[in-house]
Chains A and B, each alone.
Chain A
Amino acid sequence: MTSTTKTKLSMHEDHIISVRAARKYFPVQEGWMRRVKGYVKAVDDITFDIRKGETFGLVGESGSGKSSIARLILRAYDLTGGEILFRRADGSVIDVSTLSDRDLRDIRREMQMIFQDPYSSLNPRMTLLDLVGEPLVIHGVGSQGEIRDRVAELLRLVGLRPEYLTRYPHAFSGGQRQRIGIARALALNPSFIAADEAVSALDVSVAAQNINLMQDLQEKFGLTYLFITHDLGMVEHISDRIGVMYLGRLMEVGPTDEMFAKPLHPYTEALLAAVPQPDPRGNRARKRVPLKGEIADAMNIPTGCPFHPRCAYADAKCRGEVPELRVVQAGRQVRCHHAETLDLTGVVAE
């Protein structure tokens, strides 16, 4: 998987991001001497690519490492191992994990993030002009007047009135604040945006508005999204391809439609079965066997397949041997010893 030469980085020309064998371990310290007693393997040997212009969905339970991956890509965290390649707007490829601070600032014009909590991610003492214009000021783009015009344009883009320029975030609802966050992320014309649970805190009708907005913007500017969520209905709606995470590992990667119609990993099957549907008759007809137990402690990851203690299909091999993420069908990868022999159920479309 790793590139053959160190000097020349290469990736498939359709790809904008390539995460290769990425690892992030957090040390767990103990006592006043801060002795390291172990590591939390938040991200362990993750490899996947994001294609230019697509929406890549990342799903999994809390603690599975979804957010850590976004933070690694934007280099809010430093990698413990592996590499993360990014294709710049000019076509050149760089390894985000080895950039100097100065180059990093440059690269962040092209990659941005939208956060979950629209209340804590906006400074309450800054007006919309300051908030949305801040990235422009930092990167020295334009004069004061130009920044003002650009912010007004950005607000219009996300469906907020330009007259709101001088207002503070407290005057806005949760959905509108999320739009402010989107405008801020768009300020420097990025090509890639990581949205970490961007609509999870919103009400149904408002979430739908913002999702539609994000899709419009994607079409308009050719954006690539990494969409992180625990809401499977939402991820299915917005994503072209999906990665399913469990305990810091990718269990399955594939195109949305194929994966949801016929999952290859028992964990994907269990997740899909767990979602209650807005369909009372369907729920009654469907036999739901809830997944047993809970996600394991990230400091004591089970031996063999990390999912085996909760897996209905696990056998001796699963307990002893760690499965590799491997290609089983064109475009579909899975980390399961028995992917070929299992006949799993997906979502039955009505």
Chain B
Amino acid sequence: MSDTTRTSQSSMPPERLLQLDNVGVHFPTRDGLVKAVNGVSYHVNKGEVLGIVGESGSGKSVTARSIMRLQPKNAINASGTIRYRCKSGEELLINEQDRLGRTMRNLRGNEIGMIFQEPMTALSPVHTIGTQIMRTVMLHRQVSKADARARAIELLTKVQMPRPTDIVDRFPHHLSGGMRQRAMIALALACDPALLIADEPTTALDVTTEAQILELLKRLQDEMNMAIVFITHNFGVVADIADRVAVMYLGRVVETGTVDEIFYEPKHPYTQALLQSIPRLGQSHGRRLRTIAGMVPDPFNVPTGCSFHPRCMQAVGGICDVKTPDDVVFASGQRARCHFAGQDRQAEAAQ
């Protein structure tokens, strides 16, 4: 709808792998239009881990799925551009591709891999792990069946699956939760993608298994020099894996910065409040948790002005409830979508 962004056809910086500008995804429902994603911009450089945090309903998953064009049929891509740099070096405008077309099919699995929270929904229950990996490999590469099988075993070894030669012929229901997650990672990595989209991959796992999967992803990311978009609601996980972080609220990115900036110098009141509401090991016993007043508004009635203002401790009447804030950009590159970001009042609130 807004064709203004289209005019900026300027190419991305060479290190840039993925760039989203002002992306909007809306869903028509019986009760009205839901603006699930409402002007999201973020980018990922080659070999970098971008963590995306936010509460449920913030639009983190919908945004990620629009990168793969894996959206429900009724989704309306209302605005914005999604640029992606292919392995060949050429730039691709994903938002202009046919979602069922050849380009997108080539992109999925080959250039961009994706892993999900619940492996059982991503893996076919009626095919063995080996068959599923082999099909992906054979779809994108001209290889024989025997070579594809060898590749499947190699991948399972790479994700530290116990007994890979045995597991390759097993069905997903034979495996434990952690092993299924490994199998899904192996499947996503089948064609050495340059970008992995991980949507809450450790949320359903126990802490000990979560730690194993995080270590594995970090090691693979390092070995393959792969970029990861890591979506989670867990600040601990983000602190552990991300290089940069984008914080989302109600369909918008409210703050971006390096992981250290977000955790030690948060500039947006929402980020500050969230960080204070997490109980931390070793320092929280007995103390009252800080909370954020109210709850996430329903998507039909997004507040006017800054969408966080009804819950914000620092909101100023006449400004925050009227005017939608723009990004305030700091010298370090950190960005916060708040009228008062970086002003004194904020600094003392962060203490």
- Are the CB atoms of B285 and A205 closer together than 8 Å? no
Within the assembled complex, what's the spacing in Å between the Cα atoms of A346 and B282? 9
- Are the CB atoms of B206 and A61 closer together than 8 Å? yes
- Are the CB atoms of A236 and B279 closer together than 8 Å? yes
- Minimal Cβ-Cβ distance residue in A for B234: A276
- Are the CB atoms of A61 and B235 closer together than 8 Å? no
- Are the CB atoms of B290 and A173 closer together than 8 Å? no
Contacts of B128 in A (CB 8 A): none
Whether a CB of chain B sits under 8 angstroms from the CB of A104 is no
Whether a CB of chain A sits under 8 angstroms from the CB of B312 is no
Whether a CB of chain B sits under 8 angstroms from the CB of A7 is no
Contacts of A276 in B (CB 8 A): 210-211, 214, 234, 236-237, 239-240
Whether a CB of chain A sits under 8 angstroms from the CB of B319 is no
Interface residue ranges of B159-217 to A (CB < 8 Å): 176, 178-179, 206-212, 214-215
Whether a CB of chain B sits under 8 angstroms from the CB of A230 is yes
Within the assembled complex, what's the spacing in Å between the Cα atoms of A203 and B285? 20
Interface residue ranges of A146-189 to B (CB < 8 Å): 173, 175-176
- Are the CB atoms of B206 and A230 closer together than 8 Å? yes
- Are the CB atoms of A279 and B263 closer together than 8 Å? yes
Whether a CB of chain B sits under 8 angstroms from the CB of A288 is yes
Whether a CB of chain A sits under 8 angstroms from the CB of B345 is no
- Minimal Cβ-Cβ distance residue in B for A310: B208
Contacts of B259 in A (CB 8 A): 280
Within the assembled complex, what's the spacing in Å between the Cα atoms of A140 and B281? 45
Closest Cβ of chain B to A160, distance in Å, is 12
Within the assembled complex, what's the spacing in Å between the Cα atoms of A309 and B171? 26
Closest Cβ of chain B to A318, distance in Å, is 19
Whether a CB of chain B sits under 8 angstroms from the CB of A271 is yes
Within the assembled complex, what's the spacing in Å between the Cα atoms of A288 and B288? 29
Within the assembled complex, what's the spacing in Å between the Cα atoms of A140 and B347? 57
Whether a CB of chain B sits under 8 angstroms from the CB of A294 is yes
> Which segment of A18-26, A28-36, A207-215 sits at the interface?
A207-215
Contacts of A330 in B (CB 8 A): none
Contacts of B179 in A (CB 8 A): 294
Whether a CB of chain B sits under 8 angstroms from the CB of A300 is no
Closest Cβ of chain A to B282, distance in Å, is 4
Whether a CB of chain A sits under 8 angstroms from the CB of B46 is no
Interface residue ranges of B226-244 to A (CB < 8 Å): 233-240
Contact with A along B34-56 (1 / 0, CB 8 A): 00000000000000000000011
Contacts of B329 in A (CB 8 A): none
Closest Cβ of chain A to B267, distance in Å, is 16
Whether a CB of chain A sits under 8 angstroms from the CB of B103 is no
- Are the CB atoms of B274 and A205 closer together than 8 Å? yes
Contacts of B349 in A (CB 8 A): none
Whether a CB of chain A sits under 8 angstroms from the CB of B291 is yes
Q: In the complex, which of the residues B240, B260, B282, B292 contacts A205, with contact meaning CB atoms closer than 8 Å?
A: B292
Contacts of B176 in A (CB 8 A): 294
- Are the CB atoms of A290 and B208 closer together than 8 Å? yes
Within the assembled complex, what's the spacing in Å between the Cα atoms of A237 and B283? 8
Contact with B along A235-254 (1 / 0, CB 8 A): 01100000000000000000
- Are the CB atoms of B208 and A291 closer together than 8 Å? yes
Closest Cβ of chain A to B281, distance in Å, is 4
Within the assembled complex, what's the spacing in Å between the Cα atoms of A288 and B207? 13
Whether a CB of chain B sits under 8 angstroms from the CB of A350 is yes
- Are the CB atoms of B287 and A237 closer together than 8 Å? yes
Q: In the complex, which of the residues A209, A233, A294 contacts B281, with contact meaning CB atoms closer than 8 Å?
A: A233
Contacts of A212 in B (CB 8 A): 288-289, 291
Contacts of B288 in A (CB 8 A): 212, 215
Contacts of A349 in B (CB 8 A): 282-283
Q: In the complex, which of the residues B211, B235, B260, B275 contacts A291, with contact meaning CB atoms closer than 8 Å?
A: B211
- Minimal Cβ-Cβ distance residue in B for A348: B282
Whether a CB of chain B sits under 8 angstroms from the CB of A272 is yes
Within the assembled complex, what's the spacing in Å between the Cα atoms of A348 and B285? 14
Contacts of A290 in B (CB 8 A): 208, 211-212, 215
Whether a CB of chain A sits under 8 angstroms from the CB of B121 is no
Whether a CB of chain A sits under 8 angstroms from the CB of B33 is no
Contacts of A283 in B (CB 8 A): 239-240
Closest Cβ of chain A to B269, distance in Å, is 12
Q: In the complex, which of the residues B260, B264, B279, B296 contacts A237, with contact meaning CB atoms closer than 8 Å?
A: B279
Contacts of A206 in B (CB 8 A): 55, 295
- Are the CB atoms of A237 and B285 closer together than 8 Å? yes
Q: In the complex, which of the residues A208, A234, A274 contacts B208, with contact meaning CB atoms closer than 8 Å?
A: A274
Within the assembled complex, what's the spacing in Å between the Cα atoms of A236 and B287? 10
Contact with B along A338-350 (1 / 0, CB 8 A): 0000000011111
Task: Jot down 25 A-B pairs with beta carbons below 8 A, ordered by A.
Answer: A61-B209, A175-B295, A204-B277, A206-B55, A208-B289, A209-B292, A215-B288, A232-B207, A260-B281, A272-B281, A273-B211, A274-B208, A276-B234, A276-B236, A276-B237, A276-B240, A277-B239, A278-B239, A278-B280, A280-B259, A281-B260, A291-B211, A291-B212, A350-B282, A350-B283
Q: Lowest 4 CB-CB distances: which A-B pairs, in order?
A: A347-B282, A276-B236, A237-B279, A276-B240
Known: A294-B179, A348-B282. 20 other contacts (CB 8 A): A61-B207, A61-B208, A204-B233, A205-B291, A206-B55, A206-B295, A208-B289, A233-B284, A260-B285, A274-B208, A276-B214, A277-B236, A278-B235, A278-B263, A279-B239, A280-B260, A281-B260, A281-B264, A283-B240, A350-B282
